[in-house]
Amino acid sequence: MKKTLSFLAAVSLILTGCASGGAASAASSAGSAQAEEQETEEQNTEEQDKEETAAITDDSVKTLSLNLPALSGGLGQLQLQEKTDLSEEETAEANRAMRAYSPISTPLINNAEHFYYYEQLDSTAQKIYDAMLLAVENPADPNNIVIYSTTDDIETPEFADALWLAYYAMLYDHPELFWLYNDTKATMNFGVPYVPSAPGTNELYIYFEEPYEDFEEDVQAFNDAAEKFLSDIDLTASEAEIALAIHDKLIETVTYDYDVMASGTAKDLAHTAYGALVENSRGDKKTAVCDGYSLAYEYLLQQAGLEAAVIVGTAGNDPSDLGGHAWSIVKVDGEWYEVDSTWDDAGSLDDMLEDYKTTDAYPYYREALDDVTYRDAIQHYLFEVPTATMESFVLTDEYYYSSKDGLYSYTILSDGIHVRASEDSEWFPYNKLIETAPIAE
């Protein structure tokens, strides 16, 4: 008689807090082989009934029990520096620096034709975004100061909101700004000059707190890694084929960063596309958490000519265990689809299972993960799905595996939910930005 082995491993990389992101939470219960004396035929029948209802016992298999740890940590909370009022001397020094600045040819590369969140901003936020983009071209030079000039009052809550939205939109549109994400390598500052350079105007100076001395070296390493990644992707293929090829190669090459997850570290390159394509802040190659996976996927799609964006919010097995999370949305042949490359990465389960090699359950889970057909299914269960599926994923028969000995039917997944930040006002300004994200039908 075949039993159901329940291995509810929500490959749900659940991220919480300032540096939250997560990985698979798993709980399992399995069949037991207990040789018991049966006194009567009625007792034997009763035992069989219990097997069928509880689905955890069998007369020829030992008790299997595997409890994989719940992983949390990964989504970086972006920070924006408050405006400061510059003194007369500080304003004069900034003006001298601007006069001395010599623009360079920036090494930053992004070939996207559309930057989704930029296109959703109002004209004020777009102008601020444009000014910030000028500043990021060379954060290594302390003389690089960009002036945003406007006749609008820059001390209003409305302007503050526009500033936040522009900053967040820029970082989620431009994964090549990995060094600015979470202030990991550089911090953008904003100063109000003592006296505006022109009467009747209000000005905001945009500059960097300290020169980012490794800017060119780090960006070149990122550019080289992205170019190498895409070198064996057929960019002449259909959009659907390109999106799939990049997804599959990404989850094959990236390792989930359990240390950042456990420590809740915010300022680590594991949160960025650089972590996924090059290395995290500790030098671990191609190691990232959820926002790193999602930003890398977006960037690679952008360079391949596909439009994509990052979604942030919360995710988990159920409403009781939600934590901060990031995933992607990509436009294929004119239609939007959602993708969670972090949760699709079965390699996270491979890593965790190594700690359970001595358990009776291990061979069954290893067998499932080594099965090519089953592994392919669980590595694409959140690939190009509609928003409704991402919001509430419900297990179906295709995600259950039948053991080769015919004793068990079990799954390595569980039901899961994703909630966009747009649904929670406490997520400002994420909510204002994410509420503009497209819906995948």
For the chain (length 441 residues), average pLDDT per consecutive 10? 41 29 33 36 44 35 35 53 76 71 84 96 95 94 92 92 94 98 94 86 92 97 98 98 98 94 90 98 97 97 98 90 92 98 90 83 90 96 98 94 90 90 80 95 96
CATH number at residue 338: 3.10.620
**Residue 11 placed within a domain:** no
Whether 304 is in a domain gets the answer yes
CA–CA distance, 382 with 275 (Å, rounded to integer): 22
Q: Quick one: 237 and 197 in the same domain?
A: no
What integer pLDDT is reported at residue 90 of this predicted model? 80
- State whether 254 and 359 are in the same domain: yes
Domain contains 305: yes
Same domain, 179 and 161: yes
Domain end position, chosen among 193, 215, 237 = 215
Out of 215, 243, 271, a domain closes at: 215
Quick one: 378 and 234 in the same domain? Answer: yes
Strand partners, 202: 150
Overall domain count for the chain: 2
Q: For residue 26, with 0-12 CB atoms within 10 Å meaning exposed, 13-18 middle and 19 or more buried, which class applies? A: buried
Are 191 and 205 in contact, with CB atoms under 8 Å apart?
A: yes
- Evaluate whether residue 49 is within a structural domain: no
Same domain, 195 and 106: yes
Q: Give yes or no: residues 271 and 419 share one domain.
A: yes
**Closest to 172 measured CA to CA, from 233, 117, 120:** 117
* Contact criterion met (CB below 8 Å) for 131 and 148: yes
Buried b (16+ CB within 10 A) or exposed e, 36-56: eeeeeeeeeeeeeeebeeebb
Say what the pLDDT of residue 429 is.
Answer: 83
Same domain for 293 and 318, yes or no, is yes
Note whether 225 and 112 are same-domain residues. Answer: no
C-alpha to C-alpha distance for 400 and 389, rounded to whole angstroms? 18
Q: Same structural domain for residues 401 and 276?
A: yes
Q: Is residue 36 part of a domain?
A: no
Domain range for residue 157?
Answer: 77-215
Nearest-angstrom CA–CA distance, 338 and 330: 6
| 154 in any annotated domain | yes
Are 107 and 220 a contacting pair, CB within 8 Å? yes
Assess whether 228 and 344 both reside in one domain.
yes
Residue 58 lies in a domain: no
User: pTM for this structure?
Assistant: 0.82
Point out the domain boundary residue: 215, 244, 263.
215
Q: Are 197 and 250 within one domain?
A: no
Give the CA-trace dihedral at 221, 224, 228, 230, to 10 degrees: 110
4 part of a folded domain: no
Q: Based on the fold, state whether residues 188 and 229 are members of the same structural domain.
A: no
Angle between helical axes of 123-135 and 157-173 (0-180°, round to 10): 60
Q: How far is CA 38 from CA 43, 231, 275, in A?
A: 6, 65, 59
